[in-house]
Amino acid sequence: MVTLAAPHGQSMAAAPAVPVEVELVPRSPEQMSAFYEARGFPPAMVARLARECFITVRIRNTGREVVWLDLAQWRFSADDRPLRRYRRDYWKKKWEEMNIPLASQSTFRWTLLPETLDYQPGEVEGGNVILERTSAPISLEANFDTGPDRKGTPIRLHFDQLRCAGEAP
């Protein structure tokens, strides 16, 4: 098992022994609102999203084996308690309840980090994770399986001192 803590709590790119780079970039409500407004999202949808904590994630497989993303194996916490991550199915139901146009729903899904994905050597993929907003520092335990059958050496990454960017409206 490979277990490392991220330097400065932000990126594993500086840890050469780890066959995966993970970068985490908090996004402010203003940034996300501008992004979604520019794509014609309804005001109610933009307002709902502005209340949450967005972290843009970029993952790169720098190794020679397949690395498996499975967000069910990621644990976010703040103040020593689990921090809710809003899954795709939550948003699907929310958008249906709000009668959000399908085109906006589809574009929104495209902006999210996939729930599961196999990263081939050299592959880079990213997207947003959406958490309940908190003013407390956020910790993340990010676990990855490896190998074509997911039975290779597991990778365990730990990030501390992440924060939601900006203030919710």
Of 11-20, 132-141, 152-161, least confident by mean pLDDT is 11-20
Q: Comparing C-alpha atoms, which of 143, 160, 12 is closest to residue 75?
A: 143
pLDDT in tens, 59-90: 999 999 999 999 999 999 999 999 999 999 99
| Residue 99 is assigned to a structural domain of this protein | yes
| Residue 167 is assigned to a structural domain of this protein | no
Residue 52 has pLDDT above 90, yes or no: yes
What is the structure's pLDDT at 17? Answer: 78
| Residue 75 is assigned to a structural domain of this protein | yes
What is the structure's pLDDT at 15? Answer: 53
Residue 3 has pLDDT above 90, yes or no: no
Sign of the torsion formed by the C-alpha atoms of 139, 59, 127 and 90: negative
Q: 150: which DSSP letter?
A: S
Residue ranges making up the domain that contains 47? 2-162
Q: What are the distances in angstroms from CA 80 to CA 73, 95, 96?
A: 18, 31, 33
What is the structure's pLDDT at 16? Answer: 56
For the chain, what is the domain count?
A: 1
Residue 31 has pLDDT above 60, yes or no: yes
When pLDDT is averaged across residues 30-44 and rounded to a whole number, the result is 97
Which domain CATH number covers 107? Answer: 2.60.40
| Residue 132 is assigned to a structural domain of this protein | yes
| Residue 126 is assigned to a structural domain of this protein | yes
- What residue ranges in 71-164 does DSSP mark as E strands? 74-78, 81-82, 116-119, 124-131, 138-146, 155-162
| Residue 136 is assigned to a structural domain of this protein | yes
| Residue 168 is assigned to a structural domain of this protein | no
% the chain with pLDDT above 90 = 87
What is the structure's pLDDT at 167? Answer: 73
pLDDT in tens, 84-138: 999 999 999 999 999 999 999 999 999 999 999 999 999 999 999 999 999 999 9
Model confidence at 48, in pLDDT bands (50, 70, 90)? Answer: very high
Give the contacts of 143 (CB within 8 A, at least 6 positions apart). 70, 73, 74, 154, 155, 156, 157
* Helix 88-97 with 102-111: angle, nearest 10 deg: 160
Per the document, the length of the chain is 169
| Residue 169 is assigned to a structural domain of this protein | no
